[in-house]
Amino acid sequence: MGEINKKIKFVKFKGGLGNQLFQYAFLKNIERYCNCKVKGDFSHYNNLIKEDLIRVPRILKMNVNIDIATEKDLKKVLIFKSFKFNPKSKKYKMSTVFETLFNRKYFFEFDRKYRTVKDIINYIIFDGYWQSWRYVKNVEKILKKEITLRDKISKKNAIFIDKVTKEESVFIGIRKGDYHSTKKSMNRYGIFDENYFNRAIEIIKRKVLNPKFYVFSNDIDWVKNNIKFDEKVIYREKKDQVNDLEELFVLGSFKHAIIVNSTFYWWGAWLINNKDKIVIAPKEWFNDGSKIDIVPPEWIKLSRRN
pLDDT at 1: 34
On the question of pLDDT at 184 being above 90, the answer is no
Say what the pTM is: 0.93
Instruction: In whole angstroms, give the CA distance from residue 177 to residue 162.
Output: 30
pLDDT at 289: 85
Q: Which amino acid is at 239?
A: K
Instruction: In whole angstroms, give the CA distance from residue 198 to residue 258.
Output: 10
On the question of pLDDT at 49 being above 60, the answer is no
Cα 306–chain centre separation: 26
CB–CB of 81/72 below 8 Å? no
Please name the residue ranges forming H helices in the chain: 17-34, 71-77, 90-102, 117-120, 133-138, 140-146, 155-164, 183-189, 194-207, 220-226, 244-251, 263-270
Average pLDDT over residues 137-149: 97
Instruction: In whole angstroms, give the CA distance from residue 91 to residue 132.
Output: 29
On the question of pLDDT at 292 being above 70, the answer is yes
On the question of pLDDT at 50 being above 70, the answer is no
